[in-house]
Structure 1
Amino acid sequence: MNELHVAGLTKSYGAAEQSVLRGLDLTVPAGALTAVLGPSGCGKTTMLRIIAGFLRADAGTVRLGDRLLNGPGVHLPPERRRIGIVPQEGALFPHLSVARNVAFGLTGSDRAERRHRTAEMLELVGLAGYDDRMPHELSGGQQQRVAVARALAPRPGLVLLDEPFNALDSALRAGVRSDVRAALRATGATAVLVTHDQQEALSTADLVAVVRDGRVAQSATPQDLYQRPADPWVADFVGDAVLLPGTVDTHGTARTALGTVPLATPSQALRTGTVLLRPEQLRLTSTDSEGAVRGTVTDVCYYGHDAMVTVTVEGHDTPVGIRVTGPLSVRPGEETGVLIVGEAALHP
């Protein structure tokens, strides 16, 4: 079983103040696709390069199944790790055909087996019949599919994808992403996807690990990460968040500038804290609706499938975002009522 275990990984460049990884821990179950998500400079690409064997860690261990890849006195070279890599822009060999690119890593197989495995991988990524094409004859999305087929062909223990969809336009990206995920699942591959795109991580992966300052701040399923973030920073980084100062009362609710909201897990220890809501938990209503607080619309961003309406509310310094579906009935400058729907989380 090719479960990936990363424990206590540290890495510095030059002086100590240039520390990038600070005891990073990560577990990827066998056969799962885990997205590693984080802002630029958080250490996610450094982690990927250490797992691949391109960099040496200062400390910590990397295990793939029962094999130690990195550890005290151990640094297995990249070619002995059985790891497939899909780089940012495919990086196909320009002088080799599609078939020869895919077969590149099948050095221990005879010609018939290489031909069979290449055809199998190209069919898996939807490129059957493209064997004799050259990389320059392919679209960007097709090149990325070939790169995935090449990474999967040698049956690696782990596949690493380093922001592989960045160079694709938004219309193409979703389709290629879906095809790549299907190919990984069809082969049962264990995979790590490094990305800074929150939507990509949530929609593609089985698990999402959020990296902050060289450590994993939280690792969970996409739904758990979005609905139960570990802290306000994670909440604000993964999707849109409405953060409000709140005071807890004796009924398991919190009083905020937007009204009283029930807490999902009432705390006996915390009396004040930060109340976390998502924009879809807020509703626009008439100003005289029961329980509504009065606000003024300051901005409307329309996206087609929904819109984000920004409202200022008395008693709260920061405007709040409200996600609205269906026809819009408000404009900037108008007054509106705001209601809270559902439960909130309370953080220190």
Structure 2
Amino acid sequence: MSDLRIEKLTKSYGAEGPPVLDGLELTVPGGALAAVLGPSGCGKTTLLRIIAGFLRADAGSVTLGEHVLSGPGVQVPPERRRIGIVPQEGALFPHLRVDRNVAFGLKGVDRAERRRRTDEMLELVGLSGYGERMPHELSGGQQQRVALARALAPRPALVLLDEPFNALDSALRSGVRADVRAALSHSGATAVLVTHDQQEALSTADVVAVVREGRVAQCDTPQQLYRRPADPWVAGFVGDAVLLPATARTNGTAETALGPVPLAEDTGPGTGTVLLRPEQLQLAEPASAVAHGTVTDVRFYGHDAMITVTVEGLADPVDIRAAGPVAVRPGERTGIRVNGEAVLHP
């Protein structure tokens, strides 16, 4: 297992263009799956191409284990980096059978070993017996798993996945993500998944790096990233956020328009913005609640519903996530309670 270390990586397109990567730093522990998450144009794909060796950085370094892949005076060619790549939509060779697609990168080994390794990889991704099929005879999810098997066959130290689930429908996507995660974990390879899908990043990766304007705004475990975002922008990007003006007290609480809210960390007195998640807010009878508002919208998603409520004292409405169907309707008055702790950003 090899750590991936990226230090002070900088890249611009054109002499006068703004930097796409601006001193980006990231460390991925050996054997971990890291998701690089960010909005369009933040530098995710550029980062992936530099790691793979398809682009040369203007400054900074990329190190895999003990080997410097890119740095001052060093630029290892892509084919010598021991990196497997899973592109969008599989990109299988349409004229080759599945087994020959998987074996494509197995150079310098005898036929028996190629056959053994190919069968091993197809079994790993749950496609034993599919070797003689052509790519067009597979579903989209099966093609993505073949692409992963092809990337893992040469035993790479690092696997790069470039938004590999975009072309799959939502019903298939979660199952294929789970299969890919299991196969990567079994192989022991370090992996980097580039995505703009927050749910995909949080549910799949061991660590998530949120990239903003060419830098890592926060890198943490999915749970910590969601519960303790570094700032309000990260909070809003990795999930639905309720942001409230607040005044912190000396007793570890903050006064808000929704009433007093316990803080995860006692920051002492001061003002700032409190972060809550919609699932921390609860509908209540108006007579038993400190905060009150008027329901303006109800969106039902099956497993839960999102209720939008305008609250006295707040310029923006708040969203409340409730399990299953809800009884309130737009125009009705409701009370609001807060559950759990909040994070205060000064």
TM-score, scaled relative to structure 2: 0.99
Structure 1 equivalent of residue 280 of structure 2: 281
Amino acid at match of 2:297: D
Measured in 1, the distance between the counterparts of 2:88 and 2:325 equals 39
**1:10 match:** 10
Segment of structure 1 superposing worse, 150-159 or 130-139: 130-139
Aligned-residue RMSD, C-alpha: 0.8
> Counterpart in 2 of 1:225?
225
Q: How does 1:151-166 map to 2 (within 5 A)?
A: 151-166=151-166
| Within-5 A mapping of 1:280-299 | 280-289=279-288, 291-299=289-297
Give secondary structure in 1 for the equivalent of 2:17: helix
Shift of 1:108: 1.6
Deviation at 1:305, TM superposition (A): 0.5
Partners of 1:176 and 1:91 in 2: CA distance: 16
Q: How far did residue 169 of structure 1 move?
A: 0.4
In 2: Cα distance, 1:8 partner to 1:16 partner: 20
The number of aligned residues is: 346
CA distance in 1, matches of 2:10, 2:278: 37
> Match of 2:168, SS?
coil
Q: TM-score, normalised by structure 1?
A: 0.98
Is the CA contact (8 Å cut-off) linking 2:305 and 2:325 kept in structure 1?
no
* Counterpart code for 1:238: V
Give, in angstroms, the shift of residue 245 of structure 1. Answer: 0.4
Aligned match of 2:28? 28
**Is 1:267 the equivalent of 2:256?**
no
Alignment of 1:1-348 (within 5 A): 1-268=1-268, 271-289=270-288, 291-348=289-346
**Which one-letter code corresponds to 1:276 in the other structure?**
L
Tell me by how many angstroms 1:328 deviates: 0.7
Q: CA deviation at 1:15?
A: 3.5
The amino acid across from 2:324 in the alignment is G
After superposing on structure 2, the runs of 4+ consecutive aligned residues of structure 1 that deviate more than 2 Å are: 15-18
Partner-residue secondary structure (3-state), 1:101: helix
- Kept in 1, the 8 Å contact 2:300–2:325? The answer is no
**Cα separation, 1, equivalents of 2:16 and 2:199:** 34
Per-residue displacement from partner, 1:60-110 (whole Å, max 9, x unpaired)? 000000000000011101000000000011111111110000000000211
What is the identity, as a one-letter code, of the residue corresponding to 2:15? Answer: A
Deviates more, 1:243-252 or 1:72-81: 243-252
Asked if the contact 1:285–1:292 (Cα under 8 Å) also holds between the matched residues in 2, the reply is no
Instruction: Give the superposition deviation at 1:19.
Output: 1.2
C-alpha offsets along residues 211-265 of structure 1, whole Å, 9 cap, x if unaligned?
Answer: 0000000000000000010011000000100000001122111111111101110
* Matches of 1:327 and 1:181, distance apart in 2: 33
Secondary structure of the residue aligned to 1:288 is: helix
Q: Which ranges in structure 2 are unaligned for 5 or more consecutive residues?
A: none
What is the CA–CA distance in structure 2 between the aligned matches of 1:339 and 1:150, rounded to whole Å? 52
CA–CA separation in structure 1 for the residues paired with 2:267 and 2:133: 62
| Separation (CA, whole Å) in 2 of partners of 1:49 and 1:244 | 39
Residues in 2 aligned to 1:326 and 1:134: alpha-carbon distance in whole angstroms:
44
Counterpart CA distance in 1 for 2:331 and 2:270 is: 36
Separation (CA, whole Å) in 1 of partners of 2:308 and 2:99: 52
Displacement of 1:344 after TM fit?
Answer: 0.6
Q: Please identify, of 79-88 and 133-142, the stretch whose mean Cα deviation from structure 2 is larger.
A: 133-142
Give, in angstroms, the shift of residue 329 of structure 1.
1.4
Matched to 1:288, the amino acid is: A
CA distance in 1, matches of 2:275, 2:41: 26
Among the aligned pairs, what percent are the same residue? Answer: 76
- The separation in 2 between residues aligned to 1:288 and 1:94, in whole angstroms, is 66
Q: Distance in 2 between matches of 1:287 and 1:91?
A: 57
- 1:17 counterpart SS class: coil
Distance across 1 between alignment mates of 2:278 and 2:290: 16
